[in-house]
């Protein structure tokens, strides 16, 4: 690659610097970036002054390099999208009437880098992979910075591929027999409890979005690398593969936002998974675009002084691979 590249944490993640909008439409650049994404644990970032002016259509086209972009608006978030595009706004921006124009959740700001590691007492940061509650969970996400606060608002990433490789064989065998029960209703109620502006599902929406199950150990379909998987705010229980759960338990998890104690199987691993050997703290600049693979990474949001400063991010979801084979 002709551009300057920098590793983010060993073999996990690459920053490509000095990128222009014209580069993003170049077929050779696209192929090189895609190969980097797969070979470096599913995390690639592009940065360049010209990217501040990227249009929604250009961002969609760049996202399509890595997978098929989802065109469906997520339930209860229809008014938070960029008009005419499958782009969800995330941040604290509002319209002239004071109505939120972006999805926003209040989360703590990092005091220092020691806060990157998951704290079992505070249960922060909220480390997760995206949308495991869906019947076919998305393969990845694309995040673009429009407005960044002067401090805070970093996004954290962790390498689940390398973290899994370093587990002992007994733990790998144990985790390989389990699956996570993931519910959108549980997800939204849990977040709404600490961020009241966050929407919750109506009874009709809950019925239309039943819980999904995913394995705790996932083999990547292209790289064949194995990674830990299944941790999402929608994860309400962890059970042996195929085991039934009762409607009564689901009502508690969905309507009260309470996790079953079995989720501790994953939470107890989080301090290890989010240690400095496996993590990246991404400090956003306007124009930055980061693409991550949900099948080999987890990530977490961090807070900023939202009452003083604006933040606007654009997110696209990648539904599936485009039939490519890893180089």
Other C-beta atoms closer than 10 Å to the C-beta of 171 total: 11
**In 64-183, where does DSSP find H-type helix?**
160-165, 169-175
Write out the catalytic residue numbers: 128, 130, 299, 315
Sign of CA dihedral 79, 85, 88, 92: negative
What is the Cα gyration radius of the chain?
19
What is the distance between the alpha carbons of residues 300 and 156, in angstroms, rounded to a whole number? 5
3-state helix, strand, coil in the chain (%, to 5): 25, 25, 45
Tokens at residue 137, please? 């969970």
What is the distance between the alpha carbons of residues 100 and 93, in angstroms, rounded to a whole number? 6
> Does residue 125 have a cis peptide bond before it, meaning omega lies within 30 degrees of 0?
yes
Q: Is 239 helix (H, G, I), strand (E, B) or coil?
A: strand
Tokens at residue 221, please? 């379909």
For residues 54 and 144, the answer to whether their CB atoms sit within 8 Å is yes
């Amino acid at each position: 690659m002709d551009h300057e590249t920098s590793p983010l944490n060993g073999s996990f993640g690459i920053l490509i610097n000095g990128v222009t909008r014209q580069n993003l439409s170049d077929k050779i650049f696209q192929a090189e970036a895609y190969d980097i994404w797969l070979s470096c644990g599913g995390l690639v970032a592009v940065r360049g002054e010209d990217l501040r002016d990227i249009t929604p259509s250009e961002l969609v086209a760049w996202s399509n390099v890595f997978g098929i972009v989802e065109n469906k608006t997520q339930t209860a978030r229809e008014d938070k999208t960029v008009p005419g595009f499958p782009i969800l706004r995330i941040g604290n921006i509002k319209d002239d009437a004071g109505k939120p124009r972006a999805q926003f959740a209040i989360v703590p700001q990092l005091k220092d880098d020691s806060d990157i590691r998951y704290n079992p007492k505070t249960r922060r940061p909220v480390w997760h992979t995206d949308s495991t509650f869906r019947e076919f969970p998305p393969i990845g996400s694309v995040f673009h910075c429009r407005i960044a606060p002067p401090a805070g608002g970093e996004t954290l990433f962790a390498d689940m591929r390398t973290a899994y490789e370093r587990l002992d064989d007994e733990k790998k065998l144990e985790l390989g027999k389990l699956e996570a029960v993931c519910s959108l209703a549980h997800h939204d109620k849990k977040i709404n409890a600490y961020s009241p502006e966050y929407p919750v599902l109506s009874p009709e929406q809950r019925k239309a979005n039943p819980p999904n199950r995913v394995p705790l150990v996932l083999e990547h379909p292209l790289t064949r690398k194995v990674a830990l998987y299944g941790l999402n705010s929608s994860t309400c229980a962890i059970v042996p593969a195929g085991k039934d759960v009762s409607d009564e338990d689901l009502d508690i998890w969905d309507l009260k936002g309470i996790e079953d104690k079995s989720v501790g199987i994953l939470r107890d691993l989080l301090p290890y998974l989010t240690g400095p050997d496996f993590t990246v703290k991404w400090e956003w600049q306007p124009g930055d675009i980061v693409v991550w693979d949900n099948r080999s990474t987890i990530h977490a949001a961090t807070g900023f002084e939202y009452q003083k400063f604006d933040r606007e991010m654009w997110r696209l979801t990648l539904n599936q691979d485009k039939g490519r084979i890893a180089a």
